[in-house]
A and B are shown apart, each in its own frame.
Chain A
Amino acid sequence: MKNTIIMLVALIGLSISASAQIYHTASGKISFFSKTPVEDIDAKSNSTVVLLNTNNNEVVFKVQNTSFKFPNKLMEEHFNEKYMESEKYPNSIFSGKINETIDYTKDGSYDITVTGKLNIHGVEQLRTFNGKVVVKDQSIQLISDFKVKVADHKIDIPKLVVAKIAEVIDVHVDTTLIPKK
């Protein structure tokens, strides 16, 4: 009997502490830019889902490709149909770990690097990105700018439009996480 009680207490105690370490959001912002002399293309998603485990610095980003909005809807359709093949690969996912130790209880801004797997168009790449963590009033802001080479993810750009779409896409991530209850 005692045994069981200890087990239960341990379980409950641990699960509470485990859930308190998770920060999350479902409205993270990711935007990307493709700049060529012929055409500038930009798109934004405001529904990136992010989970951060402050206990072990693990972080996961997931964005539905169809949530990216383009000013030109024809481009949006081509992005999904021809390049990302969103019916086959609906999500882009990053799962990795922040390399620096951060005191998440103290307000402040920290420069960080994060290493993990970036999965776009069904192709996984091990990447390290520079970024920033801003801790403020119980919320954690994650900011990063990085580049994605389309060829690294086997995204094929036909010769006809090669002048209009950059080979390297600039990506900007800005998300604010709050404790998960």
Chain B
Amino acid sequence: MKKIVTVLILLMANNLFAQNDLLKMMEEEAPSKPTPVFATFKSTRLVNLHTNEQMKAKHLDFRIQHRFQPMQIDKENVYGLYNMFGIDGAVMRLGLEYGVTDKLMIGLGRSNIGKTYDLMAKYKILQQTRGKKSMPISVNYFGNIGINTLEFSDKTRNNFFTSRLSFVNQIIITRKFNDYLSVAISPSMVHQNLVENKSQSHDIYALGLGASIKISRSARFNFEYIPRLNARNEKKLNGTLFYDAFAFGLDIETGGHVFQLHFTNGAGLIEQQFISQNTNKLTLNSLRFGFNLSRVFSLEKEGQ
């Protein structure tokens, strides 16, 4: 009798197992994988600094970066309105940036500061994830080569092409803490083959600091500050000091476009310009209005 009862109980238990635990079996069959964290930032740039965002494979970003002249809104300053708070003049960069793979993007740009062409590449090394065994941060590498094409000031000298070149290496460490806050820390190095002053450093080290706060589903507030770690008291030939770049602004996204509207104390458009060549002190007078406009095109064929 006992035996039969035991067998019966086992039978029932087994049957129950089979009925109820298909969902549990699913968890064994397909354990919930860590999900990659997306949209840490809205765009490949915060304001000036690169973010961990990459162009996806076969996607092309046409990017216009624009910085107007200083607003000169100090009370004492009579030129503010006269120059329409800076929008009478501007510097800009046009860029085409392409995702070779989801991890590698390359780009070509030209800015009218120093008639500079730049070639850039950004590679995703680590991707932040959520879930079990997650990765807490994203890490990207960014590098570029700048080619200044201004005529040499002294043509009688023996000038070298290499004097036109400058280089940037940057590690971008980012973390999206939650829906509302993402931060970036970017140790950066700018190397210039040719500098104005003999006493000037060829290598400038800096730490890019950035934060982005979500305001709504389509808007974010961004802030960035890039303190230089060396050469802090170096001057240009004309005696002007260099200053750290500072910026804050808004991202507004509408479908395939991202509009980035911001205020900065520098005119620089690429790293060699805004990290190491900014001669504008942070004052109300020197703030400039600027914008980045990004339009992304998918070159992927339908149905692939």
Q: Which residues of A contact B (CB under 8 A)?
A: 2-3, 6-7, 10-11, 14-15, 18, 21-22, 24, 26, 49, 51, 53, 55-56, 58-60, 62, 64, 66, 71-74, 76-77, 80-82, 86-87, 90-91, 93, 95, 158, 160-161, 164
Chain A nearest CB from B99 CB (Å) reads: 8
Binds A, one of B12-20, B65-73, B223-231: B12-20
User: Which residue from chain A places its CB closest to the CB of B33 in the assembled complex?
Assistant: A64
Fill in one digit per residue for B263-289: 1 if any A CB lies within 8 Å of its CB, else 0: 000000000000000000000000000
Query: Which of the four size classes fits the interface of chain B?
Result: 35 or more
Decide: A10 and B33 in contact? CB cutoff 8 A.
no
B11's contact among A14, A73, A161, by CB below 8 Å, is which? A14
Given A58-B22, A82-B217, is A160 in contact with B254 using a C-beta cutoff of 8 Å? yes
Residues in chain B within 8 A of chain A (CB atoms): 2-3, 6-7, 10-11, 14, 17-19, 22-23, 25-26, 29-30, 32-33, 35-39, 56-57, 59, 130-131, 217-218, 254-256, 296, 298, 300-304
10 more A-B residue pairs beyond the given contacts A11-B10, A55-B18, A160-B254, with a C-beta to C-beta distance below 8 A: A10-B7, A14-B10, A18-B18, A24-B29, A49-B26, A49-B30, A64-B35, A71-B303, A71-B304, A77-B38
Return the chain A residue nearest B255 by Cβ: A161
| A71 pairs with B300, CB closer than 8 A | yes
The residues of B that contact A24 with a CB separation of less than 8 Å are 29
Closest 10 CB pairs of A and B: A73-B56, A49-B30, A14-B14, A81-B39, A72-B298, A90-B35, A18-B18, A60-B22, A60-B26, A58-B22
Q: How far is the CB of A135 from chain B (nearest CB, A)?
A: 19
Q: Return the chain A residue nearest B302 by Cβ.
A: A71
Contact A58 B29, beta carbon cutoff 8 Å: no
Asked whether, in the complex, the Cβ of A51 is within 8 Å of the Cβ of B29, the reply is yes
B256 near A74: Cβ-Cβ < 8 Å: yes
Give the residues in chain A near B26, CB-CB below 8 Å: 49, 51, 60, 62, 93
Q: B130 touching A87 by the CB < 8 A rule?
A: yes
Name the B residues within 8 Å of A60 (CB-CB). Answer: 22-23, 25-26
Minimum CB–CB distance from A152 to chain B (whole Å) comes to 20
CA distance A15 to B304 in the complex (A): 43
Q: Once the chains bind, are B18 and A26 in contact (CB under 8 Å)?
A: no
Q: Which residues of B contact A59 (CB under 8 A)?
A: 22
Instruction: Give the most central of B19, B29, B32, B254: most A CB within 10 Å.
Output: B29
Question: Measured between alpha carbons, how far is A62 from B8 in the docked complex, in Å?
Answer: 34
Contacts of A3 in B (CB 8 A): 2-3, 6
Q: Which residue in B6, B254, B301, B302 is a CB contact (below 8 Å) of A7?
A: B6
Evaluate whether A6 and B3 lie within 8 angstroms (CB atoms) in the complex, with A22-B25, A62-B26, A81-B39 already known.
yes
> Do B29 and A49 touch (CB < 8 A)?
yes
Q: Is the CB of B14 within 8 A of A18?
A: yes
